[in-house]
Chain A
Amino acid sequence: MDSDDDFMSAVSSEDDVLPDDSENEDMSDAEDFDFDDEPDPDLGMSKDFGVKKKVPFDINFKVFHPSDIQKQQDDLINEVNMILDISKEEAAILLRHFRWNKERLLEDSMDKQRQVFEAAGLAQTSAGPPRLETIPGFVCDICCEEGEGLQSFAIKCGHRYCVDCYRHYLSQKIRGEGEAARIQCPADGCNLIIDSRSLDLLVMPELTGRYHELLNRTYVEDKDTLKWCPAPDCQNAIECGVKKKELDKVVPTVACDCGHRFCFGCILNDHQPAPCELVKKWLKKCADDSETANWISANTKECPKCNSTIEKNGGCNHMTCRKCKHEFCWMCMGLWSEHGTSWYSCNRFEEKSGTEARDAQARSRVSLERYLHYYNRYANHEQSARLDKNIYQKTETKMVQLQKESGMSWIEVQYLNSASQALQTCRQTLMWTYAFAFYLARNNLTEIFEDNQKDLEMAVEALSGMFEKNVTELSDPKLKVEIMDKTAYCNKRRIILLEDTAANLAEGRWTFNVELTSGAAASSSHRR
């Protein structure tokens, strides 16, 4: 347990460090995490709090590349292989059985090797390397084939089948069922695991690749502190110490080296400031109510003045009708000219009370309106973020043109790139502030939150408007400075908002109008 000691000595000099209560928590949670008593990597946000001054919504994590994952596994396998005097393939089977908890494995194997080996699906006897055999009089129990020269194979249990059947069986397990770490002997009721050397001997090379890939996956999947980056084609994994039961206190956003930002708790795209459980509830609600809400998310609306159909083609909410030049807000359809000063009314839903709420019909209408208010804004930012992304792709071309027109260098036009990225991240955050706000019960903190939301929203719309200007306008150096300033301002407003929401979440100061159960109550299903 030397890493625990390291941790203690590392922080004992700090006075303001939070007490490390992870040990106690592990005890109470023992049945959920059977093998979770290994030393925690020093990654949890509470632990590091006193060591390094960090913004409260920033959590510690580490990106693992495929070679790192492989090396960690190989190191553990080699170590167990040497200490226990078993083959590497057997060491790997044991380690997988113990979910890569080496200390636990060694301890248990010293005490009760027989039981441990049996539970892990390892034979007690040691035999030579696996080989194919031709045995006179052999009849295969799977295909009922017999005959001279029929090649057969058995692992240490001695259940022998012909090579052809073995290959079909393994191919079905690997390709059909995606199984690798726990492929058992084909015999009925035999729990012995087929090791990787036997497998390599039996199956075709193209299947071996898939098999080892699946084996590697189990390393990450078996460890609660490791998760795959969900970005398509990304092979990296992320290590993070935030535990399931902490998810009502922290939104653990991590960023992979591939650029993808996601929540370590639920693997969805970054959803700060809303905690995972609210996100789950919100997405379910949106799916359930999608028909009612469909009309809002539509890409087209009618101009409030001339009724001609207008398609939203950029991320900005400031719409100008091509036909009548009427300027209005996409979200509320109100006059744009009023928005400079009264954006407020577009951002916050005024709770309706009194007479209207008295009869049941009105109440349900108010509750639908309330939902639609937040959903409208949520969907709007979701859509705008998507459109901003397209615009960024077009921006590449724009940046090239701008270089020509203004004589700026490639480096000098990078500010458009930064602006585009700021727009993406800020919209992502804004989007989730509306889901967050939907579940937020009013207290003395909600006003600050709404002000922060409003400030960020205004800044983002302003930046989005500048960002969409054409190349000729953009070559004005004054606009460049404005865009750079606004980009920095957007990023700053986003951090201010997230700092506030994260700090209050960590302290449990928000009240939600739904129950937050935290990660402790894992949902159990009757199907698997």
Chain B
Amino acid sequence: MPPAAGFATKRLGKELQKIHNSLPPGIDLVSAENFEEWFLDIRVLDSNPLYKDQTYRLKFKFSSSYPIEPPEVVFVKLPDRPIPIHPHIYSNGIICLDLLGQQGWSPVQNVESVCMSLQSMLTGNTKDERPPGDEDFVRANRLRPKDIDFFYHDNNV
């Protein structure tokens, strides 16, 4: 029984309403022109030297089963928006985070809570490095993020 058309739309409409009213500091809505793809910017609030004075662009893609299914979330690279360095973020912007996988996702999560989790994932990081095998992965990967079987070997980073 796939959710009826409009299921995701309804929920995203409510989320958008709330986002327009207020968003936590360091999170800004860039565009939400439809209910399939949104862009948001995030910044790290403390003075972590790895991410100081940088803003990062996130792309959210929603399926019609959102929020039963997790959204697809990646960092996108622009002239003024680099891909943050992090042992769980590949240099093509793909994020290895359990809460974005089917096992870790809960339908009560939302766009705002995902942004906040990513913010704190950056805040807490001290390692100036990419995931192991980044180069090979970026070169070889043709899968969409949701189809990659990540092994979340270390959720504390």
With A142-B11, A204-B1, A525-B151 in contact, is A168–B65 under 8 Å at CB? yes
> How many residue-residue contacts, CB under 8 A, span A and B?
55
**Residue in contact with A141 in the complex, picked from B2, B68, B108, CB distance below 8 Å:** B108
Residues in B whose Cβ lies below 8 Å from that of A176 = 69, 102
Residues of A near B107 (CB, < 8 A) are 142, 165, 169, 186
User: Of residues 89 to 121 in B, which have CB atoms within 8 Å of A's CB atoms?
Assistant: 102, 106-109
On chain A, the number of residues with a Cβ less than 8 Å from chain B's Cβ atoms is 24
A432-471 Cβ-contact flags toward B at 8 Å (1 or 0): 0000000000000000000000000000000000000000
Q: Kindly state whether residue B53 has any CB partner on chain A within 8 Å.
A: no
Q: How far does the alpha carbon of A528 sit from the alpha carbon of B68 in the complex, in Å?
A: 22
Known interface pairs A143-B7, A528-B151. Does A172 touch B69 (Cβ–Cβ under 8 Å)? yes
Contacts of B148 in A (CB 8 A): 527
Q: Are B106 and A143 in contact (CB under 8 A)?
A: no
Closest to A184 in B: B106
> Which of A144, A171, A189, A528 interacts with B11 by CB under 8 Å?
A144
A171–B68 Cα gap in the complex (Å)? 9
> A185-201, CB under 8 A of B: which get 1 and which 0?
01111000000000000
B106: chain A residues within 8 A (beta carbon):
186-189
Q: Does A398 contact B (CB under 8 A)?
A: no
**Residues of chain B from 21 to 74 with CB closer than 8 A to chain A in the complex:** 65, 67-69
Chain B residues closer than 8 Å to A167, beta-carbon distance:
1
- Inter-chain contacts of A204 with B (CB < 8 A): 1
A187 B108 Cβ-Cβ under 8 A: yes
The 0/1 profile, CB within 8 Å of B marked 1, for residues 502-528 of chain A is 000000000000000000000001111
Known: A142-B67, A144-B14, A165-B107. A526 touches B1 (CB 8 A): no
In the complex, the answer to whether A144 meets B10 with C-beta atoms within 8 Å is: yes
Which residues does chain A contribute within 8 Å of B69, judged by CB atoms? Answer: 172, 176
CB neighbours of A141 from chain B (8 A): 108
B108 to A, closest residue via Cβ: A141
Task: Identify A168's interface contact among B68, B102, B149, B150, CB under 8 A.
Answer: B68
Chain A residues, CB < 8 A from B15: 144
Summarize A's interface: helix, strand, loop or mixed: loop
A210 to B105 alpha-carbon distance, docked (Å): 23
Given known pairs A165-B68, A168-B1, the reply for A526 and B10 (CB within 8 Å) is no
* B139 sits at the interface (CB 8 A): no
B79 at interface (Cβ–Cβ under 8 A)?
A: no
CB-defined contacts of A169 to chain B, threshold 8 Å:
68, 107
In the assembled complex, the Cα of A165 lies from the Cα of B150 at a distance in Å of: 27
Give B131-151 interface residues, CB cut-off 8 Å to A. Answer: 148-151
Q: Cα distance A527–B1 when bound, in Å? A: 30
- A153 to B: closest C-beta gap in Å: 14
Is B20 at the interface (CB under 8 A from chain A)? no
Q: Tell me the smallest distance from the CB of A152 to a CB of chain B, in Å.
A: 14
Closest to A145 in B: B10
Given A176-B69, A528-B151, are A168 and B109 also a contact pair (CB < 8 Å)?
no
Measured between beta carbons, the chain A residues less than 8 angstroms from B68 are: 142, 165, 168-169, 172
In the bound complex, CA of A165 to CA of B109 (Å): 14
| Residue A391 lies at the interface, judged by CB distance under 8 Å to chain B | no
Q: Nearest B residue to A203 by beta-carbon distance?
A: B1
> Which of B15, B68, B109, B148 has the most A CB atoms < 10 Å from its CB?
B68
| Given A168-B2, A176-B102, A528-B151; 17 other pairs, CB 8 A cutoff | A143-B7, A144-B11, A144-B14, A165-B68, A168-B65, A168-B68, A169-B107, A171-B2, A172-B69, A186-B106, A186-B108, A187-B106, A187-B108, A188-B108, A203-B1, A527-B149, A527-B150
23 pairs of residues in contact across A and B, judged by CB atoms under 8 Å: A142-B68, A143-B10, A143-B11, A144-B10, A144-B15, A168-B1, A168-B65, A169-B107, A172-B65, A172-B68, A176-B102, A177-B102, A186-B106, A186-B107, A187-B106, A188-B106, A188-B109, A189-B106, A203-B1, A204-B1, A526-B151, A527-B150, A528-B150
* Chain B residues at the A interface, C-beta cutoff of 8 Å: 1-3, 7, 10-11, 14-15, 65, 67-69, 102, 106-109, 148-151, 153
